[in-house]
Structure formats: C-alpha cells, structure tokens
Amino acid sequence: MRRNQVSIQRLPGPRSKQQAQKYRKSKIDPSKNERIKKLAQLRNLALEPLVKNQVSVSDDTTVLFLNDVAACPEDILELALQRKRLSADMTCGMDWTYAGVNPTFYDIWVARTIKGDSFFEVGSDGNWNSAWNLFWNEEATRNLFEAHKPFQVFACWNGAAAISAAPILHGLRFRSNNPKECFQGEPTLFCKDMWNRGFRKIAVVPSINLEYTDDAADKIKQLKGFVSDMVADDDDNDTIDWVSSPPAEVRCMPTWETQGWRPWNESFS
C-alpha cells in the first residue's frame, strides 16, 4: 500500500444489483516517518466499515487486500476461491519485481516460510545473489512451489491477500512492532498475531503471480503463466496437511545486513 487512500468494496451478492463502495482519503503519509506504524493505520482504516458494522459481514466473509499490483480478475478470484477451498485463514499470491533481466521475488522482507525462514537467503552483507534459489532449505515447500500447488507459510502478503474476516471481527488489527519486538512489516506482525489467536492456516497460492506495472505484469504472466492456464487441468483436490505448531523461531531482518533468529512469540506475555 503506497498511496494514502483507502477504499473498501463489497461485491454484489445474489440479492444485490449494485456494488456498495466506501472511499476515503487520509492525511496519513507513510513516506515521512514511522512507515510501518502508518501503513498499519491505513490498513486499519480500510477495515473500519467491517468492524463498525457499516457492511454486512460474518466470520465466513473473505476480506481482500491488494497492494498497487497489476492484477487480472482471475488472480483475485483464485485467491478468494483457494481460501475457501483450502479452508484457509489467509491466502497470498507471489509478487515479483524486475530488478534485472530476470524477475525476483519481491516481498522477501515480509514473507516467512513454515519453518520461519525467508523465501530466499539474503547474504549477511545484504546481497540478493541467491534470489533465484527460492526455498533453498525446504524441499517439500519448494516441490509444491514448482508444481504450482498451495503451501503453508508462517507469514505472507506478496502483493495481495485474502483473509478470513473472523480474526478481524474478533479484534485483530494491523500494528507496528512492540518496543522489544523485532522490527518487521505490519503484514508479518498481522500473521504472527493470527498464529497467536489460533488462526494458523496461512498459505501461498503460487499459481497467482503479480507485478507492479502493467508492462512487467504482462511479462511475468508470459513467463510464469496465467492462473487459467495453470488450473485448467486442476482436479480440485488441492489440500494442505496443515501444521498447527508455529516454528520455534522466525528470522528477524530489521535491515538486510542485520539478521537473526527470534522466538516466534516474542513480546507476547
């Protein structure tokens, strides 16, 4: 979320002929200072119509968040469909950036595998020389990724997320880190808090591939494939053997050059 504007839309249901839309501007500017705190505030503004009962929602409602990605309608539909089909609490796609000739996974600072590690290894000096080697230390996850099958993670966002409304309706909000907690992005903290509240079914759907400009998004679709191509022969039997226990520790990466491992439940009393 890079712009200080927030909107929420409710798609028409079987009895609705119009789309309800709420739109507001905010003076909150994450580019000035306290970026994570302000991004959390903006995301929470988007949730206000839900938590203030301004729209009809239930625990079974799916909340969709999209960053400024160039997405196809089928990307969004697949994200929501897989959340339902997998009985997941949250699903994310995969987002990419063309830092060079080949695309690089983008949300490396936020996303963490089911074992608590980053999606690729960032060098101790901050280099991304191993960006091509996704899930280098988790063979099972890597196999699922390469087969375009959903896999469980500790945390993700990756440009777009479909989230069960249940944790939100029961008090979960976006936030910044506590004083003695690893400095990390508000989506990572959101996922961490989901685990703490018992909402532990968080998955990446690798058939959804996103970029941040129209031209680059077209390139990534040509390279990785469109959702409709990858699911054409899907037998609808995708399942995840959900892990209910979080990793003991999660990689903390306040900066690329400053990394370490912290207890997953650090700062929780």
pLDDT value of position 20 = 67
- Which residue is it, tokens 């941040």? 212
Say if pTM beats, i.e. exceeds, 0.75.
yes
pLDDT value of position 78 = 97
pLDDT value of position 57 = 92
pLDDT value of position 19 = 57
**Of 88, 72, 265, nearest in space to 167 by CA:** 88
pLDDT value of position 214 = 96
Fold for domain 59-231+238-263?
Spore Coat Polysaccharide Biosynthesis Protein SpsA; Chain A (3.90.550)
Which two tokens mark 143? 């196999």
Angstrom distances, CA of residue 69 to CA of 116, 159, 223:
26, 6, 17
The tens place of each residue's pLDDT in the chain, 269 residues long, gives 333 444 444 444 555 545 567 787 898 988 888 999 999 999 999 999 999 988 889 999 999 999 999 999 999 999 999 999 999 999 999 999 998 899 999 999 999 999 999 999 999 999 999 999 999 999 999 999 999 999 999 999 999 999 999 999 999 999 999 999 999 999 999 999 999 999 999 999 999 999 999 999 999 999 999 999 998 877 667 899 999 999 999 999 999 999 999 999 999 97
Distance between first and last Cα of the chain: 30
Residue ranges of the domains in the chain? 59-231+238-263
Angstrom distances, CA of residue 23 to CA of 14, 45, 66, 146, 188:
23, 10, 15, 39, 26
